[in-house]
Structure 1
């Protein structure tokens, strides 16, 4: 008789374990929960095992319920380390978006666990550290680090990786690097965490140095370094890294859609349409899916490279258009002056049931600015607020002020600035100043420029704009005074402008300081030939930061 009961118990336990593994929803899970809780043949040890598995589904699965997991947890009389680790992981993974006002439940559970005499293991700390990183809470993170050392888990590679991520996220790069350097054993995650930390803090060269030191790189490594260089303003090097990836990587590490999206962004920054076309072809040749993310990146790339037709062809060919896709196409049309087409596309977007976001309206307002559509701009601003309940941000106000200033409606532009619910920034005032330059509004332009100079006394742009206004009104003495003042204070353009051109698939870059790609003497010789051919009356012309004298 006892053997029959034991056999029935084992069959029931194994059946429920299998059902838990196959469970897809909370409805199914609650039915399973009821089944084994009512079984008279289920001993306490089996119940604890099944409750632990059930708890894992509720707490960790995307189909689970953290509140239901919490209820189950509170009913367990003597939770073990596994149960505590599951709940700590659950709370750390769902911490209300890093809201610091939300109670730090994972840490409270950790304290409760210690109070109950249960010692942590190497699986406890990574999730505690993860929540500290998500909250950008370096102080609590240091305290958890102290616990790591106290319980002897500092040499665990998973714990150390989480600490590197924590200190990088909190901006303590030197501490992160110290932790990295002190590791006895590093895996690819260790290297990637440190590289990403440098990239996010702007340390591109430090990240590249570490990248070069790595013996084994995975797709995350390549994507991180390529994306980091694109976002860090060095797209040309990002393309070089992509080429290197194709040469040195094995078949195990091949570009994915995230690599392609970053490379397309680099092409867009450089205006390298030949590179962009090649990448587009690479997608087709290698069978990579051109999903909505890649499609949007292609639209953006072709648009910024000047090929509106290709951008629209890609857009039309997309199987599904979401908000970013419509927004990218609207921005392309706006950039190239197709204002009517931009608004027609916005109408299609509304008809399709796709809701615009705040970036969509930046594109529409830019279309109004480029097309001189003042009334449409006002309408756009009202629709954003009244129809879509999108509260205008400072960049929307900058666009509206730009529209009004370009149209010479300075009184209305000043009223818009005066009624702003947020403090106008330099871009809002800069838009007004740009209108003053365009329409020769010397008095207003002088007032706005001086206000901007007071806000940012070391920003060269406001001085240069004021010089331009003075020069156009013939006040050359004032121009010289400002130039003299800038020279005395050492005010100059910090980031030198550069030009790029793609010839036969090679991107050439040059600036006033020269370039390794272009012999500046050759450029100067061409300029001298052009200068000799020009027939201009003697005079002085002010262009940007330079005073240029020309003779016939």
Structure 2
């Protein structure tokens, strides 16, 4: 029998590395590479590098095993360092297997070994700095990129733009972007996402309009950014523009649809939401993320029954899906249904999170379910080891304050592990307002006014408490104080109505569409009618006279 030649053995081991299914097989292959006398050093180094890559990035691999293989290599090459730096910068760190600063330590070790980094090394090291928001080290890596002559590389520059954007240095990111001799779609996306993250939606939109070529990430970033920036109408407009954009040739995906549904939920645009639902059934697979967004949309638009139908039709439901349904029930006063859904969730073995209990506490507050509220608040910590956060305390204070249990509220606040915020005190003030608790309400309101002297809400709450107690001189005094400080009640919000698929917005400041003039005419007719000066009757009389 003729012994196989080294190239054949090399090819065989390469194929085995590519086809391995479990980590045990990879370990056996590694052992064979080490002990085989038929492999040259060059072939052994090549196969070890391939095995390192497979272990670091395959689903069946292990970063820990890749680390052990790396430590076994006596003189790592640039490719080996790049694999490990990329692996540590890209993979999610497990709680029991944290590898603090490995990409940066590996980068430092590589420099000390006399190996020069390349255009593959820098983007992953810079990504690590961005993930840690480590501006000091990131700036030093920027200097290293200049030193080694890779600063003008488009991939390195893209990573730097993203780094400065994520760290909040938008001026530096924009300066880099403007000076780039060559830009690709990643360059544009990086700076646009930076402006979106910083809340400068108008500048993001201006840059978005200037792109010559946009991909799905560009569109999704803009739509999601405008939804999160509470500019839902423009988010829907961007979605329709995306559909009609023939130049970009991109189609909406699950992320797009979830964001658009969030825009519909914010606007209360249920007709739009129903159209999106129909579009989903024709074009995009409805997974748990999209299904949850549908439940949330229908719930926030007031169609709890339809939300429940979608929820029951979902083949798979995770914690977020159950929580969305519970929150929808709670928001509209279906407290019993919220708790029944929670019991079903527990029976299915799905673990609730802190938002789940927030929804249940909200249901208790709106329905006066004090005992259930106490049960929820205690259960989240005792059974599920979820430490109450500040908004849980605010909700529990709301539950107890609405019931007039002020001594229990004060005891709860004293037990808090963190400093109470304006939402906690505001919930207590709301309870004092409901029950006319003058002494406590006055004390809390004055504290909140000192904390936020320009917030009109606290002045108005205190005025209402004074009015209920018959202290109208104090009401006048507070009104005068508001006037002296230039405090006026802000517009609480706006009304949204959907007509023929068009979302119209109204507030006391008017409406940005021409239809407002027609509305004013109709309102004036109603006003005249109520005053007994009927314009309609006047025209009707003229008509009768002309007929006679």
Q: The TM-score by the shorter chain falls in which range?
A: over 0.9
Deviations, residues 57-80 of structure 1 (Å, cap 9, x unaligned): 222334322222222222222211
Structure 1 residue 220 and structure 2 residue 227: aligned?
no
Aligned equivalent of 1:22: 19
**Are 2:373 and 1:374 aligned?**
no
- Conserved? CA contact 1:509–1:518, under 8 Å: no
Asked whether the 8 Å contact 2:365–2:399 carries over to 1, the reply is: yes
2:5 is paired with a residue whose SS is: helix
Q: 5+ residue gaps in structure 2?
A: 532-548
On the 8 A contact 1:394/1:422 being kept in 2, the answer is: yes
Q: Does 1:246 align with 2:267?
A: no
Task: Give a deviation string over 1:496-544, Cα, whole Å, max 9, x none.
Answer: 6221111221110022222212655555555566666779xxxxxxxxx
Match of 1:395 in 2: 391
1:297 aligns with 2:284: no
Matched, 1:88 2:54: no
Q: Is the CA contact 2:491–2:508 (under 8 Å) kept in the aligned structure 1?
A: no
Shift of 1:304: 0.6
| Separation (CA, whole Å) in 2 of partners of 1:357 and 1:66 | 29
My pick for the range that moved more, 69-78 or 80-89, is 69-78
- Give matches, 1:349-498, under 5 Å: 349-492=345-488, 497-498=493-494
The residue that corresponds to 2:158 in the other structure is: 161
- Distance in 2 of aligned mates of 1:156 and 1:20: 33
How do 1:119-130 residues align onto structure 2 when only pairs under 5 Å count?
119-130=116-127
Matches within 5 A, 1:26-425: 26-94=23-91, 96=93, 103-249=100-246, 252-286=249-283, 288-425=284-421
Q: Does the Cα contact within 8 Å between 1:496 and 1:512 map onto a contact in 2?
A: no
Q: Deviations over 1:436-493 (max 9, x none)?
A: 2212222221111111112212222211222222334443332332222223223345
Using the alignment, how far apart are the partners of 2:410 and 2:264 within structure 1?
39
Contact residue 126 and residue 158 of structure 1 kept, 8 A? yes
1:94 CA drift (Å): 4.0
In structure 2, the partner of 1:506 is 502
TM-score by length of 2: 0.92
Q: Is the 8 A contact 2:358 2:392 kept in 1?
A: yes
Question: Is the 2:213–2:248 contact (alpha carbons within 8 Å) kept by the matching residues of 1?
Answer: no
CA deviation vs aligned residue, 1:175-233 (integer Å, no higher than 9, x gap): 00111111111111111111111111101001000100011111111100000000011
Using the size of structure 1 for normalisation, the TM-score is 0.92
Q: Deviations over 1:244-291 (max 9, x none)?
A: 1111146841001110000000000000000000000001122x1111
Number of residue pairs matched?
530
User: Which stretches in structure 1 are left out of the alignment for 5+ residues?
Assistant: 536-552
Give the Cα–Cα distance (whole angstroms) in 2 for the partners of residues 233 and 532 of structure 1.
Answer: 38
Once residues 384 and 518 of structure 1 are traced to their aligned partners in structure 2, the CA distance between those partners, rounded to angstroms, is 52
Question: Aligned equivalents of 1:94 and 1:275: distance in 2?
Answer: 38
Does the aligned pair in 2 maintain the 1:164–1:179 contact within 8 Å? yes
Partner Cα distance (1:18, 1:437) in 2: 75
RMSD over equivalenced CA pairs, Å: 2.2
Compare 486-495 and 408-417 and name the one that shifted more: 486-495
- C-alpha contact 2:215 2:248 (8 A) present in aligned 1: no
Q: Secondary structure at the match of 2:168?
A: coil
CA distance in 2, matches of 1:249, 1:260: 19
Q: Tell which deviates more after alignment, 196-205 or 451-460.
A: 451-460
Q: Secondary structure at the residue paired with 1:390?
A: coil
SS at match of 2:352: coil
- Range with bigger deviation, 182-191 or 499-508: 499-508
Distance in 2 of aligned mates of 1:482 and 1:472? 14
SS of equivalent residue, structure 2 residue 503: strand
Q: Report the Cα distance in structure 2 between the residues aligned to 1:97 and 1:244, rounded to whole angstroms.
A: 41
User: Could you tell me how far apart the structure 2 residues matched to 1:120 and 1:335 are?
Assistant: 55
Does 268-277 or 452-461 show the bigger shift? 452-461
What do the CA deviations read for 1:146-167 (whole angstroms, capped 9, x no partner)?
A: 0011111111111011001100
1:372·1:407 contact (CA, 8 Å) conserved in 2? yes
Residue aligning to 2:542: none
